[in-house]
Amino acid sequence: MSRIHPAENKCTIRKAVHEDIDDCPSVLTVWKKSSMTFQGTDGFTVFNRDGRLAFRVDNYTRKNPRLTGGLLLMDGAGKALMTLKPQIWSMQQQWNGFKGEDGCSRKSPILFSMRRGSSISMLVQSNNIDEAKVFMGGRGPTADFRIEGSFRRRCCKIRGPTGEVAAEITRKKVNSSVLLSNDVFSLVVQPGFDSELIMAFVVVMDRICRKSFAPLLCS
């Protein structure tokens, strides 16, 4: 595939991914493909607006993530940022996020927990539903972030604590009339929100947002 990363725009780039957040949205292109090229790998390759590798998830299997210790979100250089692990015996397909590679230790504090939204509400509503909920620190009952719309269709919004849009996922366009496949999509993170955290949400959503209850419309 040729040039899937975003083109430059008029917003001046004044930071790298992990430096102080400026007043410009962080525009990322997410490729549902591992940066490792040998057969059998799976993952994500994420580019920032000027085409540099921002995040990656390499060489994991969908068959049994518990046996592999979960998924590891890395920056472009391969530094471990977060460990993402499924909660054993969770009815709502809960996943927990830990800072760095700390997820390997039972004493590591949970950075966030994400749970699949209610399947019943998804069946009776077609708009403004919660496809998934995020609880910072792993605590409820009120969600700190909510995912509205259909992640499977690459048409959803991540809303913050007060309902503001923290990030949005949309289909990637080649031009005004041509869309790329669902394996390549745009992720725009608004100023004031951590791109690293939002990307961790995306990786978990890829696992828990099941086809059976995907809504027909996005909000």
The torsion angle over the Cα atoms of residues 47, 44, 171 and 144, rounded to 10 degrees, is: -90
E strands present in 48-189? 53-57, 71-75, 80-86, 95-99, 112-116, 130-136, 145-150, 155-159, 165-171, 184-189
- DSSP code, position 207: H
pLDDT at 96 over 60: yes
Query: 122: which 2 tokens?
Result: 């998804």
Q: What is the value of pTM for the model shown?
A: 0.78
Domain boundaries, the chain: 26-60+117-213
CB 148 within 8 A of CB 156: yes
pLDDT digits (tens, 9 = 90+) for 28-37: 999 987 665 5
136 by DSSP, 3-state: which? strand
CATH 2.40.160.200 matches 26-60+117-213? yes
The single-letter DSSP state of residue 179 is B
Confidence class for position 125, pLDDT limits 50, 70, 90: very low
